[in-house]
Structure 1
Amino acid sequence: MLNIVKARAHTNIALIKYWGKKDPHLFIPMNSSLSLTLDEFYTDTSVKWLPVTESDVFYLNGEKQSQEETKKISAFLDLFREKSQHFSPIEVASINFVPTAAGLASSASAFAALGAAMNRLTGLDLSEEDLSTYIRRGSGSATRSVFGGFVQWTKGNSHKTSRAKFIDDASWDIGMLTLVVNSNSKKISSRQGMAHTVNTSQFYPAWVEAANQDLIAIKQAIAQRNFQKLGEITEANGMKMHGTMLGANPPFCYFEPGSILAMNAVRTLREQGYACYFTMDAGPNVKVLCRKSQMKELQTQFQALLPDLTIISSGVGQGIQILESH
């Protein structure tokens, strides 16, 4: 039996957004989503068995975490311990390679890396799609970080059927720029924002229907390698998601003045002939889907238009990897 395993997973950015849970306990979403895995942001996580007399231990970026934080991780570890019937305590050591100024949540790469490591350590050796159903229980968006390139999270209706699947390797000149408007913690968490929107926004039912149609259309664009269509659907879908929040009661918004300036900069450069389209998650930062071959030039242009913003470029990331196993 293995004693230690180290795994890596990259974060992802949703192009067709996940916004709202149908089952908060199982993290089953209201609609299916589609994402792009990024190579610039990732998490390395090692897990090892401890003597049965000890308790779970969790280190994040070299610092031992509180009992409260460790308890959350233990609940996730229990999914694999119960499935494998190996109940010994575990030491988890996780390092996030996400730029501190990025303002990007690392939960997707973190839980995907932890799940991949536990899958190997416990000897379950679940297929990647089956593994994604367990990783989903740590973080919904983490289920998409199992694979590289374009990935679909099919909403399903149960633990087994809500899972990720590989769509396309995105090896056709795809890149992404992150325009960091504000890297501080947001006042309304994604979890809070989702629940409030689902419960109070009259726009929400229309969002679910529109997202379903957008998913069909964007998969056609990917199959045809139609970058313009891919970008247009991505941009429209993200704005529709934010529209549901404006329809909530009371309404709320993640936009900041810098977000508006960044979106306008994308439109300006697109009018100048650059292939670039924006999207935003539940936060103020703007992600720009672009041609990888134009990223350096675009970064220079954005820096001139938005001199106060940090800009991070990323190519397409790969799926989960086992770095160490013995």
Structure 2
Amino acid sequence: MTKWVRAHTNIALIKYWGKENEEWIIPKNNSLSLTLDAFYTDTQVIFDKTLKEDELILDNVMQNASALNKVQRVLDEVRSQAGIQLKARVESKNHVPTAAGLASSASGLAALAGAASQAAGLSLSDTELSKLARIGSGSASRSIYGGFAEWVKGHDHDSSFAVPVDDADWDIGMLFVIVNDAVKEVSSRDGMRRTVETSPFYQGWLDSLDKDLRDMKAAISERDIEKVGSIAERNALKMHATTLGANPPFTYWTAESMTAMTAVRDLRKQEYTAYFTMDAGPNVKIICRQSQLTDIKDKLRPLFTDDQLIEARPGPGLHLVDQSQPTI
């Protein structure tokens, strides 16, 4: 019986921004993330001899050929490893707004890697699953694991994969501030490429990352949430600064993004542990203590609706789910 596989989104605290190798999605720098429980993707894959083409059904809607591109990279690699040529039907249920800077590709492609490999009869290690997910979406390599994970950049397909860092079983959480869940105007891939090729600030960003990563891993080891938050906030601001130097310049920020960032700074003045990070999208993620999540959410209610404020805690790695049971 074909099984459903669930992967959760991860939010990078040390950002991945720029590729060394576009074809195999080899990054220019290591990155580090926290997997979270709030958003996830459930996927099943069926290899079917009656199919003439691969099919992707996302939230009960058949997707076009363009949407299949990332999926087919993973499917082709699975077929190669399994020695099969059958076409596949991929069905996914995305509990993440797609292409809004909320890491939907991370959970989606990680779930695909798990579902496709088990449907083909492969027994892959977490390292192999991470490499498989990476060729669909770089950040998906980290969603194989729960808690904190580091994507080691490597230099080719065999050496570029994520590794677990810490299970995050301590007082750390995240509050998502959803200012806009629409599809963004500049995709992550296009934004990365434009920044790498044209921004004079990009090399400065790269030069600062090794220290950020060392400091972040030390802070996680010490379970020092103030250090974790401050390093992540600075790292995110540096990443977004590179886009302003691109040609043509662009930004993922909106007026509401700025409102949320200002609110986080105000929370710190009120002695809450709160720091922000942002990916390639307008939505703001607040790194905070789990024990303060409810209070911080209450503080932000004058600015944002309840639907815009989503609490998240450290989430699990890739795992099988029973679709006959209610989703979490």
TM-score of the superposed pair, with normalisation by structure 2: 0.94
Q: Would you say 1:41 and 2:39 are equivalent positions?
A: yes
Q: Would you say 1:298 and 2:296 are equivalent positions?
A: yes
Unaligned runs of 5+ in 1: none
Deviation string, structure 1 residues 176-231 (Cα, Å, up to 9, x no partner): 01111222221111111111110111111111121221011100000111111111
CA distance in 1, matches of 2:98, 2:48: 31
Partner of 1:176: 174
Q: Would you say 1:248 and 2:246 are equivalent positions?
A: yes
- Residue 29 of structure 1 aligns with an amino acid whose one-letter code is P
1:314: Cα distance to partner?
0.8
Q: Would you say 1:204 and 2:219 are equivalent positions?
A: no
Residue 228 (structure 2) aligned to one of 230, 251, 263:
230
1:124: Cα distance to partner?
2.1
Unaligned runs of 5+ in 2: 324-328
Q: Would you say 1:97 and 2:91 are equivalent positions?
A: no
Contact 1:181 1:309 in 2 (8 A): no
Q: Root-mean-square deviation (CA), in Å?
A: 1.9
- Residue 27 of structure 2 aligns with an amino acid whose one-letter code is P
User: Alpha carbons of 1:222 and 1:21: their partners in 2 closer, same or farther (altered >3 Å)?
Assistant: same
1:69: Cα distance to partner?
2.9
CA distance in 2, matches of 1:101, 1:134: 21
- Within-5 A mapping of 1:1-326: 4-52=2-50, 54-70=52-68, 72-98=70-96, 104-306=102-304, 310-323=308-321
* Paired residue total: 323
Contact 2:202 2:242 in 1 (8 A): yes
- Residue 231 of structure 1 aligns with an amino acid whose one-letter code is G
Contact 1:101 1:180 in 2 (8 A): no
Contact 1:13 1:36 in 2 (8 A): yes
Contact 2:99 2:184 in 1 (8 A): no
Secondary structure of 2:44's counterpart equals strand
Deviation string, structure 1 residues 257-293 (Cα, Å, up to 9, x no partner): 1111111100101110100100111111110001111
- Residue 111 of structure 2 aligns with an amino acid whose one-letter code is A
1:103: Cα distance to partner?
6.0
Contact 2:26 2:155 in 1 (8 A): yes
Deviates more, 1:175-184 or 1:227-236: 175-184
Deviation string, structure 1 residues 133-169 (Cα, Å, up to 9, x no partner): 1110000111110000001001010101110000001
1:68: Cα distance to partner?
3.9
- Residue 297 of structure 1 aligns with an amino acid whose one-letter code is D
- Residue 309 of structure 2 aligns with an amino acid whose one-letter code is I
CA distance in 1, matches of 2:56, 2:192: 28
CA distance in 1, matches of 2:118, 2:51: 23
User: Alpha carbons of 1:236 and 1:71: their partners in 2 closer, same or farther (altered >3 Å)?
Assistant: closer
Secondary structure of 1:243's counterpart equals helix
- Residue 237 of structure 1 aligns with an amino acid whose one-letter code is N
CA distance in 2, matches of 1:57, 1:100: 18
- Residue 123 of structure 1 aligns with an amino acid whose one-letter code is G
Secondary structure of 1:4's counterpart equals coil
CA distance in 2, matches of 1:294, 1:308: 16
TM-score of the superposed pair, with normalisation by structure 1: 0.94
